[in-house]
Amino acid sequence: MATIGFLTIGQSPRPDILDSMFGASPAWARQYGALDELNRAEIAALEPAAGEHPLVTRLRSGEEVTVAKERLLPYLHRAADDAVRAGAAFLVVLCTGTFSNLHAPVPILYPDRILVNTVNALLPEGTLGVVMPHPGQYEAMQRKWALPGRRFVGASASPYTGQAELASIAGTLAEEGVDLIVLDCMGFTRAMKRIMAEASGRPVVLANRLVGRLIEELIDAEISSPVTA
């Protein structure tokens, strides 16, 4: 079958995300990273300045980095071009941020659109808890998740260095009376979802697994998963 190009905003490969999406990295998946060809100095130069939108991602070494979304886009375009040249039938952005300026001659699947529309259908009213990877995203997340009849409660924890904080955050969100929790970053994993669900007693939506299930539907593939959803 044709390959699918998975575009990380950090460095590829990202087995943590692919394993969380599918239980394993499928043979038809090809990974490309916006930062693959950059050295440490070039990556450090992408650190957000005042007024820029921060995105949290991971390098091949496992190190967490924060980059400015506004200056990352040309590198993400390059990764998309590499995937298309390699024959990808469609592309998947491994980030729940909004990338309206990304273009390619093949279809692009944007997790942000899937996540927002699914959650809005599940909880059009009530109280929504949103866990984001960086506190600098709070105002943008408020706008993203705003609905007239729904209250927003936000919290931040890095999916790469903040796992120990998740149970405490889940308890706080439960005390706030949230009806549903969204893990709004592709870096959060199934294990982190279980921590949040058990500590909060609330249903939890995991972005990468939601997208993975949709991709399975699109390609009509049954992908065995050793990890429970």
Q: Are 187 and 169 in contact (CB under 8 A)?
A: no
Residues 99 and 152 in one domain: no
In a domain, 229, yes or no: no
Residues 61 and 125 in one domain: no
pLDDT at 118: 98
Phi, psi for 77 (deg, rounded to 5): -60, -45
Residues 103 and 159 in one domain: no
In a domain, 76, yes or no: yes
Taking the C-alpha atoms of residue 218 and residue 223, their distance in angstroms, rounded to an integer, is 12
Instruction: Check which CATH number belongs to the domain holding 90 and give it.
Output: 3.40.50
Count of other CB atoms within 10 angstroms of residue 19: 18
pLDDT at 101: 84
Residues 16 and 106 in one domain: yes
Residues 28 and 108 in one domain: yes
pLDDT at 223: 46
The three-state secondary structure class of 156 is: strand
In a domain, 168, yes or no: yes
Phi, psi for 64 (deg, rounded to 5): -85, 140
Question: Whole domain around residue 71: which residue ranges?
Answer: 4-112+210-219
Residues 52 and 118 in one domain: no
130: left (phi over 0), alpha (psi -120 to 50) or beta: beta
Number of domains in the chain: 2
pLDDT at 162: 85
Residues 11 and 97 in one domain: yes
pLDDT at 218: 87
In a domain, 228, yes or no: no
Residues 64 and 156 in one domain: no
Residues 60 and 79 in one domain: yes
Instruction: Check which CATH number belongs to the domain holding 173 and give it.
Output: 3.40.50.12500
Q: List the chain pLDDT tens, one digit each, 229 residues.
A: 679 999 999 999 999 999 999 999 899 999 999 999 999 999 999 999 999 999 999 999 999 999 999 999 999 999 999 999 999 999 999 999 999 889 999 999 999 999 999 999 999 999 999 999 999 999 999 999 999 999 999 999 999 988 899 999 999 999 999 999 999 999 999 999 999 999 999 999 999 999 999 999 988 754 444 333 3
Residues 14 and 80 in one domain: yes
In 12-84 the beta strands, taken as DSSP E runs, fall at 29-33, 54-58, 64-68
